[in-house]
């Protein structure tokens, strides 16, 4: 049974596209308390003995199952750090949906720092979706500092989609990945900052085995007086291939610092980085205006498409 109030339900629908209790395994956390949990024959969720977080254990060979672990904070002044560990058994193929929504109408800061560690065993496939969302008109800030660590065994694959489009005042995201041979990591990050928000996103991907591949792509929009830093490093320690791309639209008085970097420690490491920052192209606006959109509507369509 999941117990959530109206604000919490709204936050859940924003971060996990959930309008009712999901099928499959889940663990709902609301205002630092467990609000509901379900396990399945193949997926077990247990609280850590010290109360610092949960462990999600997925049996080898589990196919087409999902785990939802949303977190919502609707009280002002909550500060928490949660350590969640995921053990994904050999040849499993699962979807994990995480995300945090903060509604802060009060005067104190609310902060959720989620540290997620993934142990992806040989041949397992994981799709990980993480959305962050903030709302509320209080003076208290909404702060999210997620840490994601991925330890990927041979021939495993992980696809990460991370999205933070609205309402988070401050975020510092750190992602570390260690890949053995044949492992494949794809990261798709979508970020939009507005107001006076600040976002930092750092990646360190280590390609340690032959045939390991990584593709880290970030698309971001900085509006108003917000600032962003994207710092992605791919290190090739074996015959491997890696690509990182940061593509940003800058608007108003926004500031963006992009630092893609590559480190090759093997002659057969093939590494590529790309970074581009620019304002919305004038001819794109003109084209959409010739279809009858106002300049503001055209801008919105261009940004929506860009962050898709």
The footprint of another protein (CB under 8 A) covers 219, 247, 281, 283-284, 286-295, 301-302, 304-308
Shortest Å, Cβ 53 to another protein: 35
In the complex with another protein, the residue whose CB is nearer, 51 or 305, is 305
- Short-list 272, 170, 143, 257, CA closest to 217: 272
Q: Which two tokens stand for residue 263?
A: 């480190």
In the complex with another protein, the residue whose CB is nearer, 51 or 292, is 292
Shortest Å, Cβ 108 to another protein: 38
- Short-list 199, 250, 191, CA closest to 223: 250
DSSP 32: T
What is the number of other CB atoms lying within 10 angstroms of the CB of residue 98? 24
Shortest Å, Cβ 134 to another protein: 23
Contact 175, 200 (CB under 8 A): no
In the complex with another protein, the residue whose CB is nearer, 31 or 284, is 284
In the complex with another protein, the residue whose CB is nearer, 46 or 281, is 281
Shortest Å, Cβ 228 to another protein: 17
What would you report as the CA-atom Rg of the chain, rounded to the nearest whole angstrom? 20
Tell me phi and psi for residue 211, to 5 degrees: 80, 5
In the complex with another protein, the residue whose CB is nearer, 124 or 285, is 285
Residue 148 CB burial class (10 angstroms; 0-12, 13-18, ≥19): buried
Shortest Å, Cβ 227 to another protein: 22
In the complex with another protein, the residue whose CB is nearer, 41 or 291, is 291
Contact 232, 244 (CB under 8 A): yes
Shortest Å, Cβ 165 to another protein: 14
């Amino acid at each position: 049974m999941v117990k959530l109030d109206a604000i919490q339900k709204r936050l859940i629908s924003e971060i996990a596209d959930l309008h009712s209790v999901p099928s499959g395994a889940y663990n709902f956390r609301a205002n630092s308390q467990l609000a509901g949990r379900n396990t399945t024959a193949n997926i077990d969720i247990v609280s850590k003995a010290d109360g610092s977080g949960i462990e999600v254990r997925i049996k080898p060979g589990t196919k087409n199952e999902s785990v939802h672990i949303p977190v919502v904070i609707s009280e002002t002044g909550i500060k928490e750090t949660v350590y969640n560990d995921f053990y994904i058994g050999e040849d499993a193929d699962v979807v994990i949906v995480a995300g945090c929504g903060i509604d802060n109408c009060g005067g104190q800061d609310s902060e959720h720092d989620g540290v997620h560690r993934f142990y992806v065993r040989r041949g397992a496939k994981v799709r990980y979706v993480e959305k962050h969302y903030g709302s509320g008109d209080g003076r208290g800030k909404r702060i999210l500092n997620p840490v994601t660590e991925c330890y990927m065994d041979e021939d495993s694959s992980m696809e990460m989609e991370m999205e933070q489009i609205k309402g988070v005042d401050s975020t510092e995201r750190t992602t570390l990945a260690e890949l053995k041979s044949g492992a494949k990591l794809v990261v798709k990050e979508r970020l939009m900052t507005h107001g006076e928000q600040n976002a930092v996103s750092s990646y360190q991907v280590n390609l340690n085995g032959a045939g390991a591949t990584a593709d880290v792509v970030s698309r971001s929009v900085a509006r108003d007086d917000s600032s962003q830093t994207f710092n992605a490093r791919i290190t090739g320690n074996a015959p491997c291939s890696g690509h990182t791309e940061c593509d940003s639209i800058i608007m108003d008085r926004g500031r963006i610092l992009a630092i893609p970097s590559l480190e090759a420690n093997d002659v057969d490491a093939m590494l590529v980085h790309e970074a581009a920052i620019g304002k919305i192209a004038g001819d794109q606006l003109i084209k959409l205006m010739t279809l009858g959109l106002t300049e503001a509507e055209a801008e919105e369509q261009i940004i929506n498409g860009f962050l898709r």
